[in-house]
Structure formats: structure tokens, C-alpha cells
Structure 1
Amino acid sequence: MSISPYINRELSWLEFNRRVMMEAVDSSVPLLERLKFLAIFSSNLDEFFMIRVGGLRDQIEAGYTKLDASGSTPEEQLEHISAKAHELTNLRQEIFAGLKKDLEKESIMIAPTLTANLDDITEAIFNEEIYPVISPVTLSSNNPMPFIHNLRLCLYVLIKKDGVVHHSIIILPENLRRIFRVKLDKIYFLFTEDILTKYLNIVYPDYEVLDSYLLRVTRNADLTLDEEESDDLLLSIQNFLKSRKKGGICRVETDSRLPQEILDHMESHLHFSKNDVYIIDDIIDMTSLFSVAGERPDLCYPPFKPILPDYIDGSINIFEQIKKQDIIMYRPFHDFGLVSRMVATAAADPDVMAIKMTLYRANKNSTILESLIRAVQNGKHVSVVIELKARFDEERNVDWANMLEEAGCIVTYGIAGLKIHAKNLMIVRRESGRVVRYSHMSTGNFNEFTAGIYTDIDYITADDEVGKDSAAMFNFLMGYTDIGTWNRFYLAPKYIKPKVLELIDEEIAFAKEGKEAKMIVKVNAVIDKKLIDKLIEASCAGVKIELIVRGICGIKAGIKGVTENIRVRSIVGRFLEHPRIIYFHAGGKKRVFFSTADWMERNMDRRVELFFEVTKKEGRNFLLNILDLNLRDNQKVWMQKGSEYVKVKGTKDKLNYQDYLIENNLKLYTQKAKL
């Protein structure tokens, strides 16, 4: 039986999240950062259940039976997911237990047993913070099981009065603090549910408290919205946000002491299955560990200060600098604040006529968006294309849309049926009687917070052809005009996939002629079947292919006669790998592109994405050196072996490429890549 070259998307994602969790056992990672990786793993897993598992449930309910690329039905996928997710959940508990012991040695106590020396503090917290806001519901024919919202912690309590056992439930309010930090002889992080459990006798003064059990439900939060039927997209999004927390249950987390008869009762009322139950014998919802992770600087990554490219002259106007030389940066090693300052300068510059940008995700209190509002107040023409469907940022984007419109910006929401994922900013300036367009393209969002924790490419140029494409792109997004000819841009959903397939075909042709043929693809995901099939074809023709895929990878490398010329690696480190950089040997021309698009059907076929070739020598060398360092990393790299990944750690010439860039001041322009 031949080996299938396809890997199931969902299992590949769970394998990626395992790699994230395994950073928590890497002794080279500072102790509190290891705790943070557990929180990241937990947050990722929550979203996976809400979106991916929720989506598979929707498929089953709709009668969808089509096999995925790996040959699995939706039902089979859920079975495989359940087995893997239970395994990972149990592993997380083992790792957390070890980390707690290590932290105790550092006098940091997480969810400790509430001993007598803490009584005065816990009683005060209970009386002042918890008791006034909780609302216990004792279940009866008049008080049925209340609705439990998505990701809401609950305490299920058994109480007794006059020989009769009653069931009660306390749903912890969303605005109730989860953790209370107390400094005595040690640092104690006390959890609300533990304090509440200790004082249940006060909550139920006329009852005997028999026992209590913590639980949390995860609900389907997948956003399915028919835009063609939505006369007002903004209103539709707002209405959806109200209903998101009421989706069907796809996971129940509880402790092992919960009696089976209570679990059976809850199953019948809340409509979940036994496979949806996950036993957690420590704290439930480890995303709360984010609030602990910064407690001691000496147990965290050492701070570093992002720098500017060494060719930037701070004494001259930023626009003069861009005209002298295109600016290319690699955040967070380079200072994204340059972009924020450029927009602020443009807002105040009397020669700037217009500012246009796409907005997918922005941080709270964004100085960039505040600058746009000031620009309008200063008489500039400002237009923003906001993607309201940016998952889990919908509410923030709705708020920004309203604020920008109220300030006088022109705000549009893109094209029905397509997410706007392309990242572009254009500043139009009048100089010596002519109009100059300054274009900023990026693989990352205009988010000043994530710019410090994600790796991404920023490219800023005054190139006239690029400026014309930027203008054409905004006309396309805001006026729905179909642009027939582009100078430098390739846009999905129409042009990126055909261009990539064409470039791979060129490598195949070189290989068949006996010439060197090589590709390097650094993306977050490879799951588009047409692209995977083309990679298989290229491998069979002899093209050497290096895939650097952070997350989902739907192709199995190393199968003799099929994918033997493909290697797949994943880098998981201090910063989240996020850029998309694609290299083609191209007969020695060494063409290199960056893109906002991952190799997924959604990006290629259902989004507006940008694919851009860097042609100037300095920029090309810059990107080639990033790829070179990625391929030489031997400390944070995982190599695909079958359907799983193995951590590869070199003992000689150790290279953690992210640390290297911090320590060597980003010498990416002058180095010569060995590609």
C-alpha cells in the first residue's frame, strides 16, 4: 500500500500546537517564559475548538460527507482530533505540574493549597471581591440549568438540607478577576475558584456543602456570514458578536471528581458527548497564566531594543530618506515605531494630500489610527478599508470603524465574500509640483503590540510603479473597479496562485533540462491542494524544495518517488514566525517575493492578498539572508518525520537565528546568503 503524501489539516495544526507546548520543557527558555508557552498553547487550543472543531460539527449537521485531502470524513476527523487533543491536554498537565515545582523553588506559588496563614487575606478577597458579584442558582423545576456562555468557568455545588441533596451552580462573572497576587514570605497567585470553594459555607448558609466541581464549556464560535444577504455588513457583524457565545458545545473541561451521574445529567441538558469531556486535575483555563508570566524579569527573556536599519539618517525628513533608498525591515528586530512615526509625520505635513490604508488588525490605543484621525482634522483626505471579519478582532474593528467615520475618514469594508488581508499603506505627497506616492507593504498588521512579538517584513518605497499599483489597489477595494494590468503587484484571489504555479513550473522546466532547480517557501501554512500537488510534481521532476512552515503543513515529505526532494521544517522560538517569503532559483536569477498570503485555499481563493517581488539588490539580499539563517537554525527547528516533527538540536556551531539577529544587530544587508 502506497504512503499518502497528504496530512490532515486539523491533526497537523495540533502537531504544531504540541511544538508550542514543548517550548515549556526547553531548559534554554527562561522559567516564566516556559509558563507563558503553556498559556499560548492553551489559548491556541481554545480557538481550535471554537473554530475548527466547531466548523466540523457544522459540516456534520449539514450532512457534509466529502473526504478531506487525507481521505477522512468529518466524523473521522473529529475522532482523530479527540484522541490527539486528550493526549495533549494530559501532557500539558504533566508539564504544568513540573513547572509549578520549579517555580516554588523560586518562591512563586501558583494556585497553592489555601493554608491557614492565608486565611485573613482569602476571607477579605472573598467578602470584598467575589461574594458581592456571584449569583448561585440552585436547580429545581422553577430554576432549570442556566445558560453557560462560551469559556465561562462554573462551580457545580452539591448541597444538603433536611436530608435532601440539592444541585446548585455558580457561573463566575466575566468581569471577576481570576487571579489575586499576594506577597508575603513568598509570591502567591490565588485563584478565584479556590477562594470561592473555601467559603461556600457562607454562600449557602442554611445548607451543608457536600462537594463542588469546577467546569468550563467551549462553544462553537465559527463566523459564518452570508454577506450577499447582509444589507449592512457593520450591523451584521455587531449582531453576530451578540450571538457568538451561544453556539453549540464542543468541549467540556472538568475535574475527575465530578460524579458520573451529574455528568450524565449535564450531557442530556447541554447536549455534548463523552468524547467532548476533558479531565483537568489542576487549574482549568491556563490562559490565565499570562498574568503570572511577567512576575520576575530575571526569569524572563532579557529585554532588547529594536534598532533602525543602519542606512537611515535620522537627521533628514522620512520622505527624503525613502526616496534615497527603499526601506526594508524585519520586525521585531527592527523598530516598527518608524512606521508609526511616518504616519504621524504625514498627518502633520502640509505637503501630504492623502493617506490610505488597509486595516486587518490594530492594537487598542493605536497611535497609527490616532494619527489618521489627526490627519483628517488637518485637512488630509484619509480613507481606510477595514476588515470587519478579522477573527476575534471584529468588535475592536467595529469600534475603530465608528471612530474613524465620526472623525471624517472615508471608511469602507472591502468586497462582499472576500476578506481583505493585504497590508498596504499609501501616503500621497505633493513635491515640486508633482505627486509622489509612498507605499508601505507588509506581511504583518498595523498593530504596534504584535509588532514586538511577531516576526514580519516591512517594505517602504517611493517607486512610481509600485505607487501606481498601490493607488490601483485602493481603487479596486473601495470602488470595486476591476484593474486589468498591474506593474508590480499580484493580488489574490485572481492572480497569486496562477503566478506561483507558473514560477514552480519554471523550476520544473529547469530540472528537466538538468539545470539547478530550487525553491524555498517560508509561510505559516501549506494546505492548498493545487499547490501541494504542484510541489509533488516539482519534487518528482527533481526540484529541491525547502519548506519552512510554522504551523499547518498538509504535505508529507521524504516519500521515495513522490516527495523525496522536499524537506519540511518548523521554527518555534521567542517570537512568532509570521512572514511569508518565497524564493525561486529561476535559472540563477534568484527571484524572491514576500506575501501576505499563506498557501491555503482561503488565502488564495477567498481573500484579497498581496504578492510582491523585491527586485532591488539590497532588499533581495536582506530576504535571502533571512531564509539562509532559517535553514541554518539548529536550536529552535523541528524537522518533519512522517506525520510528526522531531526537535533537532546541534551541539556544534549552535545557531538560534532569532537570538543571532538580536546579538548581531541585523547584519542582513552586507552578508552574502549561501543559497
Structure 2
Amino acid sequence: MKTEETMQEITRYINRELSWIEFNRRVLEEAQDKDTPLLEKAKFLGITASNLDEFMSVRVAGLLDLQKSGYSKKDFTGYAPASLLRRIFKRTSGFVTEQYKAYKDLTRQLARHGIRIHTFEELSQTQQKAANQYYHQIVFPVLTPMAIDQSRPFPLINSLGIYLAVVLVRNEDAGVEDAPLHFAVVRVPANFSRLVQVPSRGKAKAHFIFLEELIREHIETLFNGYAPISVHAFRLTRNSDLALDEEAAEDLLEEIEKELRKRRWGTPVRLEVEKGIHPYALEQLIEEFEISSATVFEIDGGPLDLGCLTRMPDLIKENTSLKYPEIIPSYPQEFLEEDSLFDVIRKKDVLIYHPYESFQAVNDFVIEAAEDPQVLAIKITLYRVSGNSLLVRALERAAEYGKQVTVVLELKARFDEERNIAWAKRLEKAGCHVVYGLVGLKTHAKVTQIIRQEEDGLRRYMHVGTGNYNENTAKLYTDVGLFTADSEIGEDASSLFNEITGYSSAPRMNQLIPAPTWMAQEFARLIQRETLNAQQGKPARIIAKVNSLSNQDIIDLLYEASQAGVQIDLIVRGVCCLRPGVQGLSENITVRSIIDRYLEHSRLFYFENDGDPEAWLSSADWMTRNLTRRVEVMCPVRNRCTRDTLFRILKLHLKDTVKARHLQQNGTYIRMADEGVAFRSQFEAVKIKSWKKPLKRS
């Protein structure tokens, strides 16, 4: 029997995986919200599916591995792998049901606006003719039917690919009871659009048919002499985590390429099948994948993999009323004052807020450095880079011009490994010095350093950010970046790069706080200082904006601060293991999550410090992996004006009454709309012409 103390220990925290499911539910709410434009609803629904894929292939896969190994120790939230998996699958099953209910509602609403997704039978004769032509001329030549029998073993089934399970009988056995059944699979080509557009009719704007539906309609063309009696789609999710032995790897790039090939054979984690799949087909799949019935998801009311819906807004060009209005980011006003970005940064720090302010300023920072004959060296960390990066092209030119270019490129950025390997090879070919970080650690810091020869000597120019150097995601994610020529920050950045690229051990730095060496200690110091100030009756407050909060030590320090009377406002987009509002534990803590048009991605921190506020930006979340297993950086925002800008951003989020959901003691989230004027932080941010006005302190 559990003691009261044990029960209290269990209920102090919310489980990370269950909290993640609640986060994805909040994303689903955006697809269900009547005020979300229809094509944006499709995008949000697609995001929930992609999110769930990653959750299954990484987090659930890890728990299944623990369970299979016999591991039964409980985590700090009170769950052992087996009991947690039972709860995850139960909640996930309910979530999938909600997804497909939302899909049905969405298709009905789209149809009212002339956008229809059809079965083949619903197409007109003209549309069927066009679909048939597309199948025979484009699709059929690339299809490969794969029979499975004693001489032809089960083919490799790629993770997250769409396949058709086909049950057949010989033509001469058609209609014969107990005729021998034959089984085959057909892969739906992944390099074709899942949504096949067919000619519109009447006033309709766009008509589509799913690619697998088109193949199903013509399945007999692949099996001459056999009669298909059942054709149903299935989809397998495999364990996609990399298992690297970095210590033993002579060439990390080569080792990761090997592991990526192995990923195709990862342990099966989840099997999705269309409702009504033939029992013989299901039996074959379960036997081949050695998967339990608990991990089989029968999908009713829509296609497998709703992730393809994220592309729907791009497929509908005309009806812009069904999308969010286009917003053109403004170029930072400070950089319009001088011809050279370096002239501006030398005089003052500049804080920019994406996507409301343009990422082009970051590109221009590197482009100008590449072209400037006074620039001697460029150093940068890259984690996820866009497919056609202006910034990378500038780095290549800089190397070709003879500048020293050092690129710390993280090869282990999950699901971007192949792209980063390609970038690494291309940058090395251009003459850049490419390093892959420290053994056992991911380099997640976002830092650029430019070393420039000037009249009074060498000067270091810096950019430190919360988000990746990716011009595409910078249009979709909210992030903050600081440009500075602060000599202490520049000196610290040099030490950081020397540690990553050489054998230098990181000393205690002047201003930058790196992980895994000092960041956890510094956050502890800052929180404990607020706790002590509150105990002494001094002004004390903490505002923190992160993507996730799951580190037990940080949570316990926040609980202690709350008990001392510190007012703590947390803005946590995703996972939050802290339980707010518990009397005697966390009654002074609020937690809100904002899910809206843009993905909230910035990590920002404010500490009252007895009336002398300190503000920080960081690449790190309050997660154990960020604080102990990654190279991260937190950077102080020292200038009064830029610090006020950061505080203004935080206050904007705290005022949100439309898209903010508040975390309750029981782990659920509810909207707490104000009776006053509705305030939507992202929409209000768009209206702000200048973020740089001095802030009147309240």
C-alpha cells in the first residue's frame, strides 16, 4: 500500500509523455477552432499527425525498448515503462479518433467552398478519364507488386511509408469457397503527391483523389491471372532513434550514414491499418512485424497519414480567404540607419524578433562578412538549415575568398541527418573547416562570430539566437536574436568555439553561460537568488518562456521559489512536468501555452533581481537533455533598450486571452478568456511597428 508521502511524491509532477499528448491535443484544437481559416485547419491537422509520428518513433519506441529489456524502475513522475505505455496507447487511441472526427468535419467544410476529396466512384466521367490517364502514364510504370510466398520473402517495409495489402485468389478460383489465398504488398510511391488533383467541375475550385485510392482502383493491372478480393492500406512506424557509438567511431559522418541505413530496419513500434482490412492480411502483417495488438491502430473515416494535409494550403492558390493573411516581415529599423550592419552593431546592440522582423538581417550579416575585405574569419554553429540557404552560400563564398570559415555542423539533428551530411560535404568542398561537435553531445547553440580587422584592432561581432539559422522556419517560428559587438561576449564565443573545435576546456566565461558545463548551475543560482529576495521581502519575480519544462531539479527549485512567495509566470509551449497552483507547493506559479499561427520557439528569461532586472535569451529549454547532453548557450541581454524589448515580448504573451491555454493542477489545459477585450499576442505583435521604444516600468 502506498504511503501518503509516496502519493505526494508521485503527484508533484506531470508525466512528460502524457504532457506531450496534451500538447498535441492543443494543436488539434486549432484544427477544430471555428475561427481558424479552413486551409489552416488542414495544416494544423497535418501537424498533429506528423507530431504523433515522431512521438511514436522516438519516445514510445524508447519505452518499448525499456519494457522489452525488463526495466521496471519508475521515473520521477511515478511511472514504470509498462504502466506508462498502457496509458499512452489508451490516450493515443482516443486522440486518433478525435483526429479523424476533425478530418470528417474539415472535408465537409471544404466541400462547401468547392474543395473536395473524392473516392474514385464519386468522380465524374471526365475526372475519371483524367485520373485513369494519370495512373497509366505516370503512376503505373513505377509501381512494383511484391508477392509474398515461400520463394519470395517479405520485402522491406519502410517506416511511415504507405503500402497496400492485397489479398488475391487465382482467377480460376474466384468465387470458390475456401480457395487458397495469396498475399502481396504494393508501395504507394513516396515521391508523388498524395493528393492527386483532377479537373474541377462547375463552380468548384479544386478536386482531389488520394494516390492510394487511385492505385486501389487499378490494382488488377498489377496482378494478371489473379483476382483481388481485398485491398487495404497499412503503414508501419519503426524505431527511428540513432544508436551511435561516437567514442569508437573513426569517422562520425560515415558512422551516421551507416546508422541512417539501419534506421530502415528499426524495430516496429506501431501498425496503422484501414478499417475492414482482410483478417488474412492483418494476420500476415502482425506475424511479420511481431507486433502486439495494443500497437495496432485501426483507422476509420479517412486516409492513413494525415500529415499530407500540411501541403494543402500550397495546393490551393486562388482562395486566399481560407488562409491566414500574408504578413511581410519588416526589416529591422536600426539596420536601415547605416550602409553597413557592422557600423550599427559597433555602436549598439540590436535585438530582433522573428518572424515579425525579417531573418534577412541575419543572412545579410553573413553575406556582408563574406564580401568585406576587412573580415578575417567567420565561425558559426548550424543545427537545421533550409534547403536553399543564402547563409550557407555566403559561407562558401567567404571560404573561396580566402577567409577562415569554421562551421560547427550538427550531424545528429534528428530527421535532418541526411540533409546535414550533404551540407557538410558541400561546405568542405568549398574550403570551409567543418567540425561535427563534441563526442556524446549535440551542438544546439545558435552562435555566429565575425572577426574583423579595424583601425583600432581586431573586433568580434556576434549573433546569438534562440532559433536555427534557417530562413524557412524563421517565417513560421517565433525566435529572438541578439547582434552585439560586446567584447566580453565576443571573448566568450571564441572560448566556446575553441572548446568545440580543439582540446580547450571551457573556463568560467564572462557573460555567456554554456551547457553542459555551467548552465544548470547558473539557472539554479538565478532562481535561488529570487527565492532569497522574496524571503527578505525584496522584489522577486521570474518569467520564463521555453518550449518544454521537464527537468526535475529546475522544477523543484521553482517550487521552492513559489513557497517563498516569488511570483512565477511560465510560458511553456509543449511539455510541462511542473504542476501549478497546488496549495503549499506551487500556488504562486502560472503556466500557459500559446498555440497559434506561428510556432512559439524562443527561449527567454526574466529575473527581477531586487529591482535591477536581468534578462537572458537561450538556445536551451528547461529539459535534462539541454542542460546535460547538449552544447547550448544562454546570453545576457545587457543593454537597457534591448532588455526592455525582451520584457515587452514576454508581457505580450502574458496578456494573451485568445490563444493562451492555462495548465491546471490535473494536467489538463483550459482557455481562460478575459471578459474584457480579446487579446491575441501574435496578432498584436504584427501590429507593433517598433519593438525598440523604451519601456515604462510598472
Q: TM-score, normalised by structure 2?
A: 0.94
- Mean alpha-carbon deviation: is it higher for 104-113 or for 522-531? 104-113
**1:275 partnered with 2:294:** yes
CA distance in 2, matches of 1:483, 1:252: 46
CA distance in 1, matches of 2:583, 2:279: 50
Q: Which residue of 1 aligns with 2:113?
A: 106
**1:21 partnered with 2:28:** yes
Q: Which residue of 2 aligns with 1:555?
A: 578
Amino acid at match of 1:68: D
**Percent identity among equivalent residues?**
37
CA distance in 1, matches of 2:406, 2:534: 47
Q: Which residue of 2 aligns with 1:38?
A: 45
Whether the 8 Å contact between 1:366 and 1:447 is mirrored in structure 2 is: yes
Match of 2:309 among 282, 285, 289: 289
Whether the 8 Å contact between 1:492 and 1:609 is mirrored in structure 2 is: yes
**1:253 partnered with 2:272:** yes
Q: Pairwise CA RMSD of aligned residues?
A: 1.5
Unaligned runs of 5+ residues in structure 2 are 174-178
Amino acid at match of 1:10: E
Per-residue deviation at 1:651? 4.7
Amino acid at match of 1:194: E
Whether the 8 Å contact between 1:621 and 1:673 is mirrored in structure 2 is: no
1:511-530 alignment runs, 5 A limit: 511-530=534-553
Residues 1:651 and 1:109: Cα distance change in structure 2 (over 3 Å): farther
Per-residue deviation at 1:58? 2.0
Match of 2:453 among 430, 434, 452: 430
Per-residue deviation, residues 346-397 of structure 1 (Å, max 9, x unmatched): 1111111111101111111111011011011111111111111111111111
Per-residue deviation at 1:78? 1.0
**1:171 partnered with 2:195:** no
Per-residue deviation at 1:672? 3.2
CA distance in 1, matches of 2:371, 2:333: 26
Per-residue deviation at 1:176? 3.6
CA distance in 2, matches of 1:123, 1:175: 19
CA distance in 2, matches of 1:210, 1:179: 25
Amino acid at match of 2:43: K
Amino acid at match of 2:682: Q
CA distance in 1, matches of 2:442, 2:69: 24
CA distance in 1, matches of 2:99, 2:130: 30
SS in 1 for 2:225: coil
Amino acid at match of 1:179: L
CA distance in 1, matches of 2:248, 2:530: 44
Per-residue deviation at 1:206? 2.0
CA distance in 2, matches of 1:215, 1:110: 20
SS in 2 for 1:621: helix
SS in 2 for 1:646: strand
Per-residue deviation at 1:455? 0.4
Per-residue deviation at 1:19? 0.4
Q: Which residue of 1 aligns with 2:137?
A: 128
CA distance in 1, matches of 2:245, 2:266: 17
Per-residue deviation at 1:315? 4.2
Whether the 8 Å contact between 1:5 and 1:563 is mirrored in structure 2 is: no
Per-residue deviation at 1:113? 4.6
Per-residue deviation, residues 50-91 of structure 1 (Å, max 9, x unmatched): 111111122223333221111111111111110111111000
Match of 2:621 among 598, 605, 609: 598
**1:345 partnered with 2:368:** yes
Residues 1:673 and 1:60: Cα distance change in structure 2 (over 3 Å): farther
Amino acid at match of 2:235: R
CA distance in 2, matches of 1:196, 1:443: 45
Q: Which residue of 1 aligns with 2:251?
A: 232
CA distance in 1, matches of 2:110, 2:592: 32
Whether the 8 Å contact between 1:507 and 1:543 is mirrored in structure 2 is: yes
Whether the 8 Å contact between 1:443 and 1:596 is mirrored in structure 2 is: yes
SS in 2 for 1:587: coil
Q: Which residue of 1 aligns with 2:683?
A: 659
Per-residue deviation, residues 142-199 of structure 1 (Å, max 9, x unmatched): 1232221101111111222222332221122332432212232131122111111111
Q: Which residue of 2 aligns with 1:190?
A: 209
**1:412 partnered with 2:435:** yes
CA distance in 2, matches of 1:64, 1:106: 53
Amino acid at match of 2:352: M
Whether the 8 Å contact between 2:551 and 2:623 is mirrored in structure 1 is: yes
Per-residue deviation, residues 199-229 of structure 1 (Å, max 9, x unmatched): 1222223222212111101110012212112
Q: Which residue of 1 aligns with 2:639?
A: 616
Amino acid at match of 2:460: R
CA distance in 2, matches of 1:343, 1:667: 23
Whether the 8 Å contact between 2:165 and 2:281 is mirrored in structure 1 is: no
CA distance in 2, matches of 1:494, 1:623: 26
CA distance in 1, matches of 2:147, 2:331: 61
CA distance in 2, matches of 1:669, 1:18: 37
Q: Which residue of 1 aligns with 2:229?
A: 210
Per-residue deviation at 1:673? 5.7
SS in 1 for 2:335: coil
SS in 1 for 2:532: helix
Per-residue deviation at 1:516? 3.0
CA distance in 1, matches of 2:72, 2:697: 48
Whether the 8 Å contact between 2:234 and 2:274 is mirrored in structure 1 is: yes
Whether the 8 Å contact between 1:531 and 1:599 is mirrored in structure 2 is: yes
CA distance in 1, matches of 2:697, 2:467: 24
CA distance in 2, matches of 1:106, 1:361: 37
CA distance in 2, matches of 1:53, 1:572: 24
Whether the 8 Å contact between 1:624 and 1:673 is mirrored in structure 2 is: no
**1:639 partnered with 2:662:** yes
Per-residue deviation at 1:36? 0.3
Q: Which residue of 2 aligns with 1:309?
A: 332
SS in 1 for 2:464: strand
Match of 2:74 among 67, 74, 78: 67
SS in 1 for 2:384: coil
**1:330 partnered with 2:353:** yes
Per-residue deviation at 1:264? 3.0
Whether the 8 Å contact between 1:333 and 1:666 is mirrored in structure 2 is: no
Per-residue deviation, residues 607-652 of structure 1 (Å, max 9, x unmatched): 1110111111011100100111110001110001121111233352
1:439-478 alignment runs, 5 A limit: 439-478=462-501
Whether the 8 Å contact between 1:7 and 1:69 is mirrored in structure 2 is: no
Per-residue deviation, residues 398-451 of structure 1 (Å, max 9, x unmatched): 111111111111111111011111110011111115101101000011101101
CA distance in 1, matches of 2:198, 2:676: 44
Q: Which residue of 2 aligns with 1:510?
A: 533
SS in 2 for 1:447: coil
Q: Which residue of 1 aligns with 2:524?
A: 501
Per-residue deviation at 1:111? 4.0
Unaligned runs of 5+ residues in structure 1 are none
CA distance in 1, matches of 2:255, 2:697: 49
Q: Which residue of 2 aligns with 1:396?
A: 419
Whether the 8 Å contact between 2:479 and 2:600 is mirrored in structure 1 is: yes
Amino acid at match of 2:199: K
Per-residue deviation at 1:112? 4.0
Between the two proteins, the alignment pairs up a number of residues equal to: 674
Amino acid at match of 1:171: R
Whether the 8 Å contact between 1:385 and 1:412 is mirrored in structure 2 is: yes
- Mean alpha-carbon deviation: is it higher for 77-86 or for 160-169? 160-169
CA distance in 2, matches of 1:335, 1:49: 35
Q: Which residue of 1 aligns with 2:176?
A: none
Amino acid at match of 2:612: K
- Mean alpha-carbon deviation: is it higher for 476-485 or for 5-14? 476-485
- Mean alpha-carbon deviation: is it higher for 87-96 or for 556-565? 556-565
